[in-house]
């Protein structure tokens, strides 16, 4: 079951980012499912919280990792600029998915001993420029606190049908979905040779021998 709910706080990077559209629940659930499949050996009952937003000039993604019985939630957040003229929203979302996966892998492999920035920091990743940050806010507790204080962000969150329209405009469809496990994958050498032309086809973390490949995030 997805733990994603609207109204969770995820601050955008750009000051101009005010109004936003959430990823449809179905798409967030799909991302969450593939994370669960790829990180199954680490989860041991932990919850994964996925939140994605499309702003006028940037896309943001949060993947939260909440261990069973704990209140502290590790959040891996990524932001990238996109261009409506170039219609590259889907590709930038894929880059964000891969970057969040790399952060999560490093966090899990080091038992949380990481040196991620707590404010947006620019990093090179897969030949692109993106921004990452880390925090330990519990999404459910924060959303409940905001609700009690009357600080919900509902005025900015569009309706579900509008979210579907936004992702349709961003050309998200089955064609762009993460590869399935039963697909045929290329070797790492073949992937490296085609890196320039292939990098926008889908999140690399979900493919063959490159599964959960960790890029340098420092």
pLDDT score for 180: 40
**Over 70: is that where the pLDDT of 166 sits?**
no
**Over 80: is that where the pLDDT of 175 sits?**
no
Mean pLDDT of 54-79: 95
Under a CB-based contact definition with an 8 Å cutoff, are residues 207 and 98 in contact?
A: no
Average pLDDT, the chain: 76
**Residue keyed to tokens 């320039």:** 196
Helices of type H across 18-61:
25-38, 40-43
Q: Is residue 196 part of a domain?
A: yes
Using pLDDT thresholds of 50, 70 and 90, give the confidence band for residue 178. Answer: very low
Counting the structural domains of the chain, the total is 1
Contacts of 117 (CB under 8 A, 6+ apart): 132, 133, 134
Q: Which of 151, 154, 52 is nearest to 100 (CA)?
A: 52
Q: Is residue 169 part of a domain?
A: yes
Q: Is residue 93 part of a domain?
A: yes
**Over 50: is that where the pLDDT of 174 sits?**
no
pLDDT digit string, tens, across residues 13-22: 999 998 999 9
Of the CA atoms within 13 Å of residue 92, those in its CB half-sphere come to 26
Q: Is residue 14 part of a domain?
A: no
* Domain boundaries, position 61: 21-175+185-210
Helix (H) or strand (E) holding 21: strand 21-22
pLDDT digit string, tens, across residues 106-165: 999 999 999 999 999 999 998 899 999 999 998 887 766 767 776 555 444 554 455 556
pLDDT digit string, tens, across residues 42-60: 999 999 999 999 999 999 9
What whole-number distance in Å separates Cα of residue 126 and Cα of residue 121? 16
Q: Is residue 8 part of a domain?
A: no
Contacts of 155 (CB under 8 A, 6+ apart): none
What whole-number distance in Å separates Cα of residue 120 and Cα of residue 25? 26
């Amino acid at each position: 079951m997805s733990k994603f709910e609207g109204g969770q706080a995820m601050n955008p990077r750009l000051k101009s980012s005010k109004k936003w559209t959430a990823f449809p629940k179905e798409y967030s659930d799909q991302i969450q499912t593939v994370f669960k499949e790829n990180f199954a050996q680490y989860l041991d009952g932990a919850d994964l919280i996925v939140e994605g937003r499309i702003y006028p000039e940037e896309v943001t993604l949060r993947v939260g990792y909440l261990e069973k019985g704990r209140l502290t939630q590790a959040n891996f957040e990524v932001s990238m600029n996109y261009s409506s003229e170039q219609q590259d929203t889907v590709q930038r979302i894929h880059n964000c998915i891969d970057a969040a996966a790399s952060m999560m892998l490093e966090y899990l492999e080091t038992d949380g001993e990481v040196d991620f920035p707590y404010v947006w920091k620019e990093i090179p990743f897969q030949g692109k420029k993106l921004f990452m940050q880390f925090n330990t806010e519990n999404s459910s507790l924060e959303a409940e606190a905001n609700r009690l204080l009357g600080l919900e962000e509902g005025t900015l969150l569009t309706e579900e049908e509008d979210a579907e329209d936004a992702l349709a405009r961003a050309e998200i469809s089955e064609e762009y979905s993460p590869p399935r496990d039963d697909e045929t994958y290329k070797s790492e050498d073949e992937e490296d040779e085609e890196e320039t032309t292939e990098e926008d086809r889908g999140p690399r973390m979900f493919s063959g021998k490159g599964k959960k490949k960790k890029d340098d995030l420092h």
